[in-house]
Structure 1
Amino acid sequence: MLDDDTRNAIALKRFSLISPILNGQVNNRREYYVQISSNPIEMPYYGIRKYAPKTIESWYCDYMRGGLDALKPGYRGDKGSSRKINAELAEKILEVKKAYPKAPNTIIYDKLIEDGILKEGQISLTTLYRFLNSSNYKDIHESEEKKEIKRFAHQYINELWYGDLMYGPYIQDGRKKKPTYLLAYIDDASRLVPHGEFYYTQSLEALRHSFKEAVLKRGIPSMLYTDNAKIYRSQQFEFMCANIGCSLIHSKPFVASSRGKIERLFLTVRKRFLSQLDISDIKSLEDLNLRFWKWLDEDYHKKPHSSLNGLTPLDFFMSQISRVKLCTDPAQLEEKFLLRIKRKVNHDGTFPINNILYETDIKFAGSRFEIRYDPQWLDIPFMPVFIYQEDKKIGEAVQVNFHDNAHMKRRGRPKNSELTVDLQDNELFVESANISGSKQTISFKTIMRGE
């Protein structure tokens, strides 16, 4: 059964194959379909297989019709049932495959029947092929030609952004000094910095915030080129990029030259910004960022760039401002950047997020759902988070208010059940509203005398 993570991975892989068409890099779509389908494609879960040009074309049509969600495989009709190859049988099949790694699958199939592991007709040869192709035991030897390296620059703005992280200075935070990290982006054509910001952490939350700010300021890029750091490889970030129509591309490991433009930007930041900064004057992280943004606006963006024929990054960017693809609906953009986590709802309708307890409708108790939220919402007590199932919003949850819940009437409690308490002369009178005229008296004097 395909879980949600696998379906998401398949959708992202399909999107990566059709993204050159969406970015306008393909002149003839039919020829591109033939070119892509001529080589085997490694698809998550399914393994390496060849696809027909019509299949690639159908993915493009699905995306244009329904976006990224349309690229996800449908849920199985027999969802929840066991497969023909269970865990015990799978282990035995893989043992035979390891013993004969170079044997074709037909020989493996005959060997399994000969050893009594499989019975005639228990599983088909196609099922065995599919299982072994999805495993990591298929040796693939591809001869890679040495590629020549050439300098390049895109002609138009927002076709390609580079994103990377730089270690910043240590600044005083209370009694301790904390390290800072600069997350920044640079446009390939104009060398303009869409956004850069210092953070205390190099986390996915910081990456998400910085990229969203860059998109809000300078529009949506067609491609984003990053290294292979864990935060850039996260499926959460891949989803954020794909949801806004941006292709996320990773450089090859240990090839820093492919990210030369942003590495050069970081060198400029160190030489022309950090070198003139008195760290002892920095009062907070906000103060550091305000100074950095001022330097970007007044120095870097307005200084003629050698690769732009004397133009400044800002002038070059503004000369093609008509090509900027802005997000017209900030609320919709906010939804595309929501974090996604899996949570099981407890029997009392609650579930935790970062040690904060949320509650929802009791009908969801005992089930597992996908929760989508903005990390800033966790600091707002009455801001709800969204509950999704199979990519559809089915409810919301809010933070538990323990004080209000203590005074809230529960369903199933007897109505008009009230107690009247009165304290007079060291005697406690308790009267029940259900029984008219009934009163019970507890005397503290009697208790103290031991009577």
Structure 2
Amino acid sequence: MGQEDQTRLERAQAIGLFRYMLIREAADPTLSRRQRGALVRELAAIPHTDPDGRSVRITRWTLDRWIHDWRVGGFDALVPSPRQSRPRTPPEVMELAASLKKENPSRSAAQIRRIIGAKLGWAPDERTIQRMIVREGLTALQAPLAPAVFGRFEADGPNELWTGHALHGPMVQGRKTYLFAFLDDHSRAVMGHRWGFAEDTVRLAAALRPAMAARGVPRYIYVDNGSAFVDSWLLRACAKLGVKLVHSTPGRPQGRGKIERFFRTVNSEFVVEIASGDGEPGRRIDSLLEMNRLFTAWTENVYHRRVHSETGAAPLARWMGDRPLAVPSPSDLAEAFRWSEHRTVSKTALVSPHGNRYQVDPQLVGQRVELVFDPFDLSFLRVRLQGQDMGTALPFQVSRHSHPKARPETPGEEPRTTTGIDYLGLIDTAHTAGLADKVNYAALGEPAPPAVDLTDPSGE
């Protein structure tokens, strides 16, 4: 298979993710038939942006079929055959339609279809032409919309909605730090966090995966359009765990107000206590391990125990509530957070991702297979063909042991002693002393003695 086949396969995966994100809410098994029907009608009544950037409308029949396919076969059932995902309208015909619109902007899609039909003897559907006009920015200018009015919103219960965002932090070991954090919308409790030296997918996963293992799986995750939040691995992880990933509209950050407020608290109470350079007041941080440990101590012993000004309750106490947690099994969590890539098996039954070579089943020669792996351990790869497990890829020649994007944090310099009052150190001491009373979130459904959960959601 050549580059064209690879493009088709990647397009098929993108279409599957588009379909999943569209029907996930309506496919909720807790909905009644009346509620599901209302949601499907709403989805069918509005346009949606497909993987090609086109504005499309999906019929109720199609949405019902996708919901049925997802219930029967999961996410893989939503991925079309690579041959079916190929665009049906020749690009030269669409170029002709665009030229006709540019030649005379007053021409409608119906008129352009008539002209093409007279010229070629056939023409694409009128809606196909209209989507192209919108995609190429050839529509007539419209009056600006009135400013949107935003009301206050709060999720009905814990783990209904998590909001994720990244904060640019202070310098540690001479390098800029970044904080990934996820906030429960109902309680304002911190579900997961991770300080790192990069604003990438690896550091994001280091915050989200332990959060789901300790706090459970949310129904929705609301994030912005940063590169880490639109990476395909995050879409895959959410699809595998049944989470609906929602991205904010570019230029409208209003929905992230709660986590932005939390970040202001982090800056004013935590970051302010960190020394920014030689001779500066505050504690000097000499490693990311120490940074994450101190932040966990501050989160669990200060932020989570203090009454929130809007909810009137301590974040952790409000989050615990009475609802059972949907904690994924370790195997499901590990599968969801693996990465995957596609490669064509050579004539010698080898695949070669990132300079490494692996032996696979000879029956797969010439096939385009999916390789599923841990980005930090390329010694073990699972092989799949059209969603079916085909065994393990045996290492044949391995020179790279981790994915190029999986950059580990580098060790820092030797610690320096400091003088004065160490506020963060005092919190850390209190946190360490209270670890003996920690509680397992996964066991909250059973009777347990009163305790404060000090589990470290960052995985440190």
Per the alignment, in what secondary structure is the counterpart of residue 214 of structure 2? helix
Residue of structure 2 in register with 1:295 after alignment? 298
Task: Measure how far apart 1:229 and its partner are.
Answer: 0.9
Change (3 A) 1:106 1:254: closer
Letter in structure 1 aligned against 2:339:
L
Are residue 11 (structure 1) and residue 16 (structure 2) matched? yes
Letter in structure 2 aligned against 1:265:
F
Instruction: Show CA shifts across 1:115-155 (max 9, x none).
Output: 5xx3x3xxx33468647645734756787554321122122
Residue of structure 1 in register with 2:26 after alignment? 21
2:288 pairs with one of 279, 285, 288: 285
Change (3 A) 1:188 1:350: same
Residue of structure 2 in register with 1:103 after alignment? 107
Residue pair 2:163, 2:221 contacting (<8 A) in 1 also: yes
The residue correspondences of 1:20-99 to structure 2 (distance < 5 A) are 20-22=25-27, 28-44=35-51, 47-74=54-81, 76=83, 86-88=90-92, 91-99=95-103
Alpha-carbon distance between aligned partners in 2 of 1:100 and 1:275, rounded to the nearest angstrom: 60
2:308 pairs with one of 289, 295, 305: 305
Residue of structure 2 in register with 1:370 after alignment? 370
Are residue 168 (structure 1) and residue 169 (structure 2) matched? yes
Alpha-carbon distance between aligned partners in 2 of 1:67 and 1:84, rounded to the nearest angstrom: 27
Task: Measure how far apart 1:282 and its partner are.
Answer: 2.3
Q: CA RMSD in A?
A: 3.3
Task: Measure how far apart 1:22 and its partner are.
Answer: 4.6
Change (3 A) 1:97 1:147: closer
Residue pair 2:182, 2:193 contacting (<8 A) in 1 also: yes
Task: Measure how far apart 1:396 and its partner are.
Answer: 2.7
Instruction: Show CA shifts across 1:172-195 (max 9, x none).
Output: 2xxxx2221111101011111111
2:217 pairs with one of 220, 223, 248: 220
Per the alignment, in what secondary structure is the counterpart of residue 400 of structure 1? strand
Residue pair 2:194, 2:204 contacting (<8 A) in 1 also: no
Structure 2: state its 5+ residue gaps. 277-282, 400-460
Structure 1: state its 5+ residue gaps. 404-451
Instruction: Show CA shifts across 1:224-272 (max 9, x none).
Output: 1111112212233122112211111112223333211111111111122
Residue of structure 2 in register with 1:326 after alignment? 327
Task: Measure how far apart 1:46 and its partner are.
Answer: 9.7
Per the alignment, in what secondary structure is the counterpart of residue 308 of structure 1? coil
Instruction: Show CA shifts across 1:72-108 (max 9, x none).
Output: 334547x9xx987545555445434443444244543
Residue of structure 1 in register with 2:410 after alignment? none
Task: Measure how far apart 1:401 and its partner are.
Answer: 4.6
TM-score by length of 2: 0.73
Letter in structure 2 aligned against 1:259:
R
Alpha-carbon distance between aligned partners in 2 of 1:50 and 1:88, rounded to the nearest angstrom: 24
Alpha-carbon distance between aligned partners in 2 of 1:178 and 1:399, rounded to the nearest angstrom: 36
Residue pair 1:33, 1:54 contacting (<8 A) in 2 also: no
Residue of structure 1 in register with 2:194 after alignment? 197
Residue of structure 2 in register with 1:393 after alignment? 389
Change (3 A) 1:114 1:52: closer
Alpha-carbon distance between aligned partners in 2 of 1:301 and 1:88, rounded to the nearest angstrom: 60
TM-score by length of 1: 0.74
The residue correspondences of 1:100-139 to structure 2 (distance < 5 A) are 100-112=104-116, 118=120, 120=121, 124-126=122-124, 130=128, 133=131, 136-137=135-136, 139=138
Residue of structure 2 in register with 1:421 after alignment? none
Change (3 A) 1:166 1:307: same
Alpha-carbon distance between aligned partners in 2 of 1:74 and 1:348, rounded to the nearest angstrom: 26
RCO greater where, 1 or 2, for CA within 8 Å and sep 6 or more?
Answer: 2
Q: Which moved more, 1:254-263 or 1:22-31?
A: 22-31
Letter in structure 2 aligned against 1:108:
I
Task: Measure how far apart 1:204 and its partner are.
Answer: 1.6
Letter in structure 1 aligned against 2:207:
S
Change (3 A) 1:41 1:277: closer
Q: Which moved more, 1:86-95 or 1:184-193?
A: 86-95
Residue pair 1:243, 1:336 contacting (<8 A) in 2 also: yes
Letter in structure 1 aligned against 2:233:
Q
Letter in structure 2 aligned against 1:284:
S
Alpha-carbon distance between aligned partners in 1 of 2:71 and 2:139, rounded to the nearest angstrom: 34
Alpha-carbon distance between aligned partners in 2 of 1:261 and 1:251, rounded to the nearest angstrom: 14
Residue of structure 1 in register with 2:335 after alignment? 335
Alpha-carbon distance between aligned partners in 1 of 2:265 and 2:225, rounded to the nearest angstrom: 23
Alpha-carbon distance between aligned partners in 2 of 1:388 and 1:236, rounded to the nearest angstrom: 17
Alpha-carbon distance between aligned partners in 2 of 1:72 and 1:101, rounded to the nearest angstrom: 37
Change (3 A) 1:105 1:306: closer
Per the alignment, in what secondary structure is the counterpart of residue 26 of structure 2? helix
Task: Measure how far apart 1:278 and its partner are.
Answer: 4.1
Residue pair 1:154, 1:188 contacting (<8 A) in 2 also: yes
Task: Measure how far apart 1:345 and its partner are.
Answer: 4.1
Task: Measure how far apart 1:223 and its partner are.
Answer: 0.6
Change (3 A) 1:46 1:395: farther
Residue pair 1:15, 1:242 contacting (<8 A) in 2 also: yes
Instruction: Show CA shifts across 1:296-323 (max 9, x none).
Output: 22222122222232x3111112223x33
Letter in structure 1 aligned against 2:375:
P
Alpha-carbon distance between aligned partners in 2 of 1:83 and 1:356, rounded to the nearest angstrom: 34
Are residue 152 (structure 1) and residue 153 (structure 2) matched? yes
Q: Percent identity?
A: 26
